[in-house]
Amino acid sequence: MNQPRNHLLTEQRLPASARLDTMSIEQSLVVMNQQDAIAQQAVVAESANVAKAIELAVAAFKRNGRLIYVGAGTSGRLGILDASECPPTFRTDPQMVQAIIAGGPDAMFRAKEGAEDSAQDGARAVEEKAVTENDVVMGIAAGGTTPFVHGALYRAIELKAKTIFLSCVQAVPNEPQVDVVIRPLTGPEVLTGSTRLKAGTATKLILNQITTLAMVQLGKCYENLMVDLRATNEKLKDRAIRMICTLTGLDYQSAGQLLQHANGHVKPGVIMHHRNLSLDAALELLDQCKGQLRDAIAAELP
């Protein structure tokens, strides 16, 4: 028989919401907003550990490794969401940031009860990704005890991958001994045990931070502009043109023409303008500068 989990922070009752069913909508919103602010504070308290996780991800990417999220339920869905948003935002290969959810892809849209209870399935999922020492595997388990996530992390450790564990509760017995632990202690939920609330909010914030700042370190950002975006629709094409306007001083029409000459890519377009280079020469210079637009603009030319 499984051990009771009532000692875990996310399973305890929140006194402030003990009479939730009798509150007005307005009163309920006050409580929820107050608790969401606690989630933000919990994330801030873990900044040093999040920074370590970002460093691991950057190092993995530089050796052509991957960041692989593993989770169940809400945690798994948040991993999928973050991974799926990297290619359009940063023009990354979809293999670079990936996500595994207990129960497989169908669990993204319909809960598969019990899928999270098998550590063997978690280990098998990591094996199916052909994880190596070049990769980072990040287990996400708001309640800390998810066997699927633990199994995945134990197997990743055996495969010599770097490992991260994100949990919103105190340490639990048999927790995997990973390289970095991120532990935002968000406390009891407004709706007892519903970790899609505060714990989910904290998880989303942390995943945002890890991939965004890792990509910044890789040169996917110039100033605060996402200069490596993939202009796959009219909104993103407009954003790309406006970025070129900002970085070159060109008018909108001329910037659009430059974007077209640069095959829809902002960074080589900006380099073509500032350095008076062809597209091929701009791409070569960008490659020499390891994708860093700032360095390419300032580099001495032969």
- Catalytic positions, please? 85, 116
> What secondary structure does DSSP assign to the chain, as a single string?
-PPP-TTSGGGS--GGGTTGGGS-HHHHHHHHHHHHHHHHHHHHHTHHHHHHHHHHHHHHHHTT--EEEEESHHHHHHHHHHHHHHHHHH---TTTEEEEETT-GGGGTS--TTGGG-HHHHHHHHHHTT--TT-EEEEE-TTS--HHHHHHHHHHHHTT-EEEEE-SSS--TT----SEEE-----S-SSTT-TTTHHHHHHHHHHHHHHHHHHHHTT--BTTB-TT----SHHHHHHHHHHHHHHH---HHHHHHHHHHTTT-HHHHHHHHHHT--HHHHHHHHHHTTT-HHHHHHPPP-
In DSSP terms, which residues pair with 138 in a beta bridge?
69, 164
